[in-house]
Amino acid sequence: MSWPHPVDKLALGTLMEEEVDLDAEFSRNFNECCFDIKIYAEKKNEKYEVFLEINPEEGSKYELIVDYAIGVGKEFRFVEKDHWKCSEVLQKIETPESKINIIFGVSVHQPLISENVMEKTTFRYFRILCAGETFYVNPSNLKKMGGEMFEKWFEDEVTHEDCSIVQKLAPDDLKLLLMATCGYSTIIIHSRNVFELGDIGVELKIVPIVRAIDAFVRDLKTMHPVRKLECA
């Protein structure tokens, strides 16, 4: 059993490749960079559901940017540059067959440790209010990225305002933006934030975000070239 196109373009480390009997309480466990990975099956009516689940190790603060793929029989699913952060079921694949081939592989791009942008620190100290939510940023650091909103925050700090109020973005969108720009040591783009963050970056004219997303898309190995042009 081998990876089909375009999954074969990813440099995956194969952790599992075997024929299994889903009637025999099938379950397999693996570990990859502080994440426990579990593949298991449940019978539902006359069919079977195969689950791919991840859980961070107890006490671990690490997050991961990864490529992964799973094949159950003839059905393959993959995600390039996914973001693993918390416990979740990544995939659920249904099959009518009890005896079936399963293949699973993963490749780690980058381990991360994030900061909580809703907590004040000595580096992030300036309050940003948005629809009842409070965030903390370093305006001087964000000003370097440009954009009217970041520049206004810097001006508010210089004029000794207590905080800045954001009305252009919903709290979830603002948190997405701040996690990408303030939550790590550099701008972090992954499959879960790339499109929404791209819209925000273009709307607010934050050039470093737009450039980071452009580089991210150009680096993708499984996206069709025409789709890359559409995202440009």
The tens place of each residue's pLDDT in the chain, 232 residues long, gives 679 999 999 999 999 999 999 998 899 999 999 999 999 999 998 899 999 999 999 999 999 999 999 999 999 999 999 999 999 999 999 999 999 999 999 999 999 999 999 999 999 999 999 999 999 999 999 999 999 999 999 999 999 999 999 999 999 999 999 999 999 999 999 999 999 999 999 999 999 999 999 999 999 999 988 888 877 6
Whole-model pTM: value is 0.93
Query: What CATH architecture does domain 7-113 belong to?
Result: Sandwich (2.60)
Helix or strand holding residue 137 (H, E): strand 133-137
Q: What is the C-alpha separation between 201 and 190, in angstroms, rounded? A: 15
Looking at residue 228, its pLDDT comes to 81
Q: What is the C-alpha separation between 51 and 94, in angstroms, rounded? A: 9
Q: What is the C-alpha separation between 167 and 159, in angstroms, rounded? A: 20
> From start to end of 11-132, where are the E strands?
13-21, 27-32, 35-44, 47-56, 62-72, 75-84, 88-95, 99-113, 126-130
Q: What is the C-alpha separation between 49 and 193, in angstroms, rounded? A: 28
Looking at residue 232, its pLDDT comes to 66
Q: What is the C-alpha separation between 55 and 62, in angstroms, rounded? A: 11
State the DSSP code for 46.
Answer: T
- 118 three-class SS: coil
Tell me where in the chain the CATH 2.60.40 domain(s) lie: 7-113
Q: What is the C-alpha separation between 145 and 51, in angstroms, rounded? A: 41
Tell me where in the chain the CATH 3.30.710.10 domain(s) lie: 126-219
Looking at residue 115, its pLDDT comes to 95
Looking at residue 80, its pLDDT comes to 98
CATH tag, 126-219: 3.30.710.10
